[in-house]
């Protein structure tokens, strides 16, 4: 059963299905309506003339949904993003107010963000910080929240969403969804990795990009033609979240950052890759594609393709205008390369989202050690002495099982320490019981092995760091429980 489920991962790529779901759900239409209303109110007040670089935002409260929309005047966006330093990245240390300090960890202590976007964001902190506090304090279990923005306003929406995610307990409340339309990339590889360290944050971002819009690919460097550079881009800017890519032919969603970079470049209109920035009407695009999704428009294809996963990738590339049916033979190498990197991405994603499966595998080895301990006791030897003397064949088996368990828990401790503080704390709580059982079962064997090799002073010289860390987390957890129990007693009195 497990093998068949695993194989299903590679049968189809769900990008087209996800895009259809998004387009028919109505969230894009409602987000664009909020953006259009905000643009209209801004234009009617002529505010873009007096404050050319200002952010405009508005909270739209509906019966089943709250939408926060961000925009900047089109002329301001052009001026801001076409100036000489538009593509500059600035390190997180540049943010004087330490807005995104929660994204920094021991493993990833710094990241970089687009200077134009962060300068605009910081200049409006007096408005955005109270807005964040208001939204996070008023959120409830029933709240459905969308943060949206167009063009540079989408960049601000993404930054605001990151701040909001840090202030919301996602174990209790629904995740907000950030939807951007035609927005440039805002950060580097380190920002991408920082977001991925939070297990659910990456899925909170949906970026809609049309092949007619140059802004989404504005900061992506390209050293070759779009066709040659699809699968291998070198860029300081890196995407995060899910991208809904649209063309005249159709649409599809993509999550693999490596693929997204190439696709954004490859979608550039042939013969005019450096087209000047001009307004792209996403409202009309979404309406047209929504009709296409509802009508289940199917691409006619009679090619002999036995690999279902590869066939689905080909259909997605055709849908976003990167391939034509008559080009398939000439593009075989490119298709295979994309196929390979998409499968690799799925495997990596599965490991991130299913760490508990391997923990369950470790329980099998723990059960064997329990049996070994019981058998050693029945022979009146004790499993510490039995392991140290290696008199029985079972002692040799335990060496292998102990090594597997130790490698797993060393990796787990390392992973937890690399996570942001809040995510790491939740992770420690979830795995603390298993880690404590492992330490209590395996560390006596480590001690036996250490002294068998004539070691001295195990506690200070021979003890593994991962044992120390697991014990430290247990002590902290027990201290927190005692503190909470004491507070409850005081409150009751």
Give mean pLDDT, residues 133-154.
Answer: 89
Give mean pLDDT, residues 218-247.
Answer: 72
CATH number at residue 18: 3.40.50
Whether residue 326 is found in the same domain as residue 378: no
CB 183 within 8 A of CB 149: yes
Whether residue 375 is found in the same domain as residue 446: yes
- Whether 299 shows a pLDDT value over 70: the answer reads no
Instruction: Please give the residue range of the domain that contains residue 18.
Output: 8-352
Residue 1 lies in a domain: no
Taking the C-alpha atoms of residue 474 and residue 471, their distance in angstroms, rounded to an integer, is 5
Helices (H), 228-354: 257-266, 282-294, 308-319, 332-353
Among 320, 352, 384, the domain boundary falls at 352
Whether residue 299 is found in the same domain as residue 196: yes
- Report pLDDT for 165: 93
What does 184-202 look like in DSSP terms, one character per residue? ---B-HHHHHHHHTSTTTG
- Highest-pLDDT range among 67-71, 132-136, 230-234: 67-71
Long-range contacts of 40-47 (CB under 8 A, 24+ apart): 42/71, 42/73
- Report pLDDT for 4: 38
Whether residue 333 is found in the same domain as residue 362: no
φ/ψ bin of 271: left (φ > 0), alpha (ψ from -120 to 50), beta (otherwise): left
User: How is residue 285 written in tokens?
Assistant: 């695009």
Of 188, 167, 215, 228, nearest to 89 (Cα)? Answer: 188
Taking the C-alpha atoms of residue 110 and residue 92, their distance in angstroms, rounded to an integer, is 6
Whether residue 99 is found in the same domain as residue 190: yes
Candidate from 92-96, 131-135, 280-284, 476-480 with smallest mean pLDDT = 92-96
Whether residue 331 is found in the same domain as residue 372: no
Whether residue 305 is found in the same domain as residue 273: yes
- Report the half-sphere exposure of 185 (CA within 13 A, side-chain side): 28
Taking the C-alpha atoms of residue 106 and residue 104, their distance in angstroms, rounded to an integer, is 7
Residue 265 lies in a domain: yes
User: Residues 95, 96, 100, 105: is their CA dihedral positive or negative?
Assistant: positive
Whether residue 347 is found in the same domain as residue 312: yes
Residue 3 lies in a domain: no
Taking the C-alpha atoms of residue 286 and residue 293, their distance in angstroms, rounded to an integer, is 10
Exposed/middle/buried for residue 324 (C-beta within 10 Å: 0-12, 13-18, 19+) = exposed
Residue 459 lies in a domain: yes
Whether residue 85 is found in the same domain as residue 176: yes
- Report pLDDT for 1: 35
The count of structural domains within the chain is: 2
- Report pLDDT for 225: 40
Among 352, 378, 399, the domain boundary falls at 352
- Report the half-sphere exposure of 115 (CA within 13 A, side-chain side): 13
Residue 288 lies in a domain: yes
- Whether 2 shows a pLDDT value over 50: the answer reads no
User: Residues 468, 469, 471, 475: is their CA dihedral positive or negative?
Assistant: positive
- Whether 73 shows a pLDDT value over 80: the answer reads no
- Convert the pLDDT of each residue in 381-425 to its tens digit: 888 888 888 777 777 889 999 999 999 999 888 878 777 766 666
Candidate from 118-122, 158-162, 222-226, 364-368 with smallest mean pLDDT = 222-226
What mean pLDDT, rounded, does the chain reach? 81
Exposed/middle/buried for residue 380 (C-beta within 10 Å: 0-12, 13-18, 19+) = exposed
Residue 118 lies in a domain: yes
Single pTM value for the model: 0.78
Whether residue 53 is found in the same domain as residue 120: yes
User: How is residue 39 written in tokens?
Assistant: 């643009």
Whether residue 199 is found in the same domain as residue 317: yes
Residue 184 lies in a domain: yes
CB 206 within 8 A of CB 178: yes
Q: What percent of the chain lies above the pLDDT cut of 70?
A: 79
In the structure, how many helices (H) and strands (E) does the chain have? 18, 9
Terminal-to-terminal C-alpha distance of the chain: 55
- Convert the pLDDT of each residue in 175-229 to its tens digit: 999 999 999 999 999 999 999 888 789 999 999 999 999 999 988 876 544 444 4
Residue 328 lies in a domain: yes
Whether residue 344 is found in the same domain as residue 433: no
Give mean pLDDT, residues 164-174.
Answer: 85
Confidence of residue 36 (pLDDT cuts 50, 70, 90): very high
Of 192, 273, 186, 195, nearest to 227 (Cα)? Answer: 273
Angstrom distances, CA of residue 14 to CA of 87, 203, 212, 242: 33, 15, 24, 12
Of 474, 469, 476, nearest to 433 (Cα)? Answer: 474
CB 184 within 8 A of CB 152: yes
Among 334, 352, 370, the domain boundary falls at 352
- Report pLDDT for 41: 84
């Amino acid at each position: 059963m497990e093998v068949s489920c695993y194989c299903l991962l590679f049968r189809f790529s769900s990008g087209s299905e996800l895009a259809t779901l998004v387009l028919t759900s109505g969230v894009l239409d409602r987000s664009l309506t909020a953006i259009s209303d905000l643009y209209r109110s801004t234009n009617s007040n002529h505010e873009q003339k007096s404050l050319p670089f200002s952010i405009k935002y508005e909270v739209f409260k509906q019966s089943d949904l709250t939408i926060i929309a961000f925009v900047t005047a089109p002329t301001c966006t052009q001026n801001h993003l076409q100036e000489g330093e538009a593509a500059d990245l600035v390190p997180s240390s540049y943010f004087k107010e330490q807005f995104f300090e929660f994204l920094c960890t021991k493993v990833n202590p710094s990241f970089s963000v687009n200077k134009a976007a962060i300068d605009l964001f910081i200049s409006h902190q007096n408005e955005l910080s109270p807005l964040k506090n208001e939204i996070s304090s008023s959120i409830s279990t029933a709240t459905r929240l969308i943060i949206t923005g167009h063009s540079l306003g989408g960049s601000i929406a993404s930054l605001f969403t990151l701040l909001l995610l840090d202030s919301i307990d996602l174990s209790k409340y629904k995740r907000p969804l950030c939807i951007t339309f035609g927005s440039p990339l805002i950060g580097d590889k380190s920002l991408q990795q920082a977001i991925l360290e939070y297990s659910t944050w990456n899925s909170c971002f949906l970026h809609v990009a049309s092949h007619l819009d140059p802004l989404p690919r504005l900061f992506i460097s390209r050293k070759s033609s779009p066709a040659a550079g699809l699968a291998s881009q070198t860029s300081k800017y890196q995407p995060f979240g899910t991208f809904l890519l649209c063309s005249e032919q159709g649409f599809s969603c993509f999550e693999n950052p490596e693929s997204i970079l190439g696709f954004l470049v490859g979608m550039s209109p042939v013969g005019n890759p450096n087209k000047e920035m001009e307004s792209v009407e996403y409202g009309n695009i979404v309406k047209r594609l929504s009709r296409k999704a509802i009508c289940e428009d199917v691409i006619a294809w009679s090619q002999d393709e036995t690999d279902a996963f590869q066939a689905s990738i080909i259909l997605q590339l055709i849908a976003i205008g990167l391939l034509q049916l008559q080009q398939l033979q000439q593009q075989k190498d490119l298709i295979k390369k994309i196929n390979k990197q998409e499968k690799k991405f799925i495997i990596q994603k599965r490991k991130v989202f299913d760490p508990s499966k391997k923990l369950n595998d470790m329980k099998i080895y723990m059960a064997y050690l329990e049996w070994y301990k019981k058998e050693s006791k029945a022979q009146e030897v004790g499993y510490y002495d039995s392991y140290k003397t290696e008199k029985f064949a079972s002692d040799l088996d335990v060496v292998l099982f102990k090594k597997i368990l130790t490698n797993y828990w060393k990796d787990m401790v390392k992973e937890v320490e690399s996570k942001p503080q809040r995510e790491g704390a939740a992770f420690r709580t979830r795995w603390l019981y298993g880690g404590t059982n492992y330490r209590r079962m395996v560390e006596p064997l480590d001690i036996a092995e250490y002294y068998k090799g004539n070691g001295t002073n195990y506690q200070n010289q021979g003890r593994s760091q991962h044992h120390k860390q697991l014990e430290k987390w247990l002590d902290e957890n027990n201290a927190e429980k005692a503190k909470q129990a004491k507070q409850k007693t005081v409150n009751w009195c």
